[in-house]
Structure 1
């Protein structure tokens, strides 16, 4: 009940309630922003923008999901917007260019660390990296990813599979290349 009261007070523009909500979620949302941006200054900037937007749009929060999940979606969208603005060469694939092939295998060579996988994901094109990150790290399903990125669920699945393929290829090159 406390969470609902706090959100209600924020809807009435109660600054103390906003500060309390901010303090409750800022560390977790900062971690989300850092996973996308890998830059502390950028993550802080995007986090502030996300909280401002959340407080401006808090009347749209309907309670269908937890407040944290609602806020996380805002943070992720702000991160993606930031990255898109930073890289104007973003190219979208159309759904008709994609085919989905189911492949549930996510194994990599035991010699490859989680940190190596994370760093290698950074090398992927944004369209694949976003879907991989939302699916693997943030735990969203394809319906949710589609909503966040403005895709269809089929496009989300396709990008996940293609991204996984690119990731495997990069990791294979890393393990067989001069880096090992």
Structure 2
């Protein structure tokens, strides 16, 4: 069955199609939620809530982006809402695909080869919360500033500023690690 057909059937409240769509995306969406949340059960709850919201708002899906991208945004928003409600810190990341490697050299966003992925994870978790969200959404989730501004309900200028400041703080943390002055 084609993706479009499944979505159309889901819009008609076809439970079998909803289960099929859920099974297709639940693992990937759990990984996204787990990047934000410390507890596996919390991540599962957020994914469930995201699917409920997606199925109730499916009529708003216009296929301008893939269904997976649309659903991912719901999961990210639900995760951030959960964190805001509980005022929890961001979790250590298990799978990270940082844009750091892909950034142009003139961006002055370079880290030493001796810095490990674990060092980056620890450093991100040490950032102030307002920088953690923007850094994580931009570097790890791949959102642009317009999307981040919508997700966090801040201006694009604030997103750019917080990312810039967060990257400076992150680099300082990583430089301290490299120089051995951090434990």
Structure 2 length as normaliser, TM-score?
0.84
Question: 1:126, 1:174 → 2: CA distance?
Answer: 20
When normalised by structure 1's length, the TM-score is 0.85
In structure 2, the partner of 1:14 is: 14
Q: Alpha-carbon deviation of 1:177?
A: 2.1
Residue 124 of structure 1 is matched in structure 2 by 127
Q: Measured at CA, do residues 124 and 178 of structure 1 come closer, stay the same or move farther in structure 2, by a change above 3 Å?
A: closer
- What pairs up with 1:26-65 in 2 under 5 angstroms? 26-65=26-65
1:159 to 159, 162, 182: 162
2:26 & 2:165 partners in 1: Cα distance? 33
Gap runs ≥5 in structure 1: 89-102
- Backbone CA RMSD of aligned residues: 1.7
Q: 3-state SS of the aligned residue for 1:151?
A: coil
CA shift at 1:125, angstroms? 2.0
Runs of 4+ aligned residues of structure 1 deviating over 4 Å after TM superposition are none
The correspondence for 1:149, drawn from 144, 147, 152, is 152
Q: How many residues align?
A: 165
Residue 136 of structure 2 corresponds to 133
Taking the aligned partners of 1:178 and 1:115, their CA distance within structure 2 comes to 14
Write the distance in 1 (CA, Å) between the matches of 2:43 and 2:162. Answer: 25
- 1:178 is displaced (CA, Å) by 4.9
